[in-house]
Amino acid sequence: MAMYGNKYKLFEHCVYCHSRPCAVIWNELKEEEFPLLTEERLAAIRDGFWDDWQYPNCLGAIDGRHCVVQNFPNEGGEYFNYKGSFSMVLLGICDSRYRFTYVDIGARGRRHDAGVWERCSFREAMVSGELPIPPPKLLPGGWEATPHHLVADDAFPLGPHTMKPYEGHFLPNAHAIFNYR
């Protein structure tokens, strides 16, 4: 505990008083708030995106957030971000109703959203096939099954498991509607 007290500029007893309840709360609520992602649950998330947003084959919306912190002792520039402050990155994936289905908390601020995504357990499980993703599904009015994916902003790379908006300001109507959804 002394190490964390020094790192976060807190007295050791404060770290102990807060870390233990946080661990207990996480251990008690993680099953309820972040249940295991089964094929059935991912299919329900996909159906939610279709029902709520008319957006097909989506398993979640992903984004990162830099939370400003004081620099930690002996960390150098590890937490210094491109915005000119020190931060920790919180990466989250939400369903169609903005409920978190996955979180990655505590990445160092010098990493951008895509860098945190490249190293997170959700992506690793998705790429390796460990995540029980439902089989590809036909798009409405389509003739070929397409894979499931996450929607992301411009900070993330386009890939087999991530879809991002069209770039530009004066887009054709179909592209603008896609970006809106």
For residue 172, pLDDT over 60 is answered with: yes
Contact 157, 171 (CB under 8 A): no
Indicate the pTM of the whole model.
0.80
Tens of pLDDT, residue by residue over 5-31, are: 444 544 454 444 455 667 777 778 777
pLDDT at 168 over 90: no
Residue type, 146: T
What pLDDT, on a 0 to 100 scale, did the predictor assign at position 125?
Answer: 94
Structure tokens at 33: 């708030």
Degrees (nearest 5) of the Cα angle 114, 120, 126? 100
For residue range 26-75, list pLDDT tens digits in order: 778 777 878 889 999 999 999 999 999 999 999 999 999 988 888 877 77
Tell me the C-alpha to C-alpha distance, in Å, between residue 78 and each of 3, 20, 66, 81, 108.
Answer: 18, 26, 13, 8, 6
The span from the CA of 45 to the CA of 49, in Å, is 6
What pLDDT is attached to residue 76? 77
Continuous segment of H or E residues that includes residue 104: strand 100-108
Distance (Å, whole) CA 59 – CA 93? 9
Contact 94, 33 (CB under 8 A): no
What is the per-residue pLDDT for 149? 95
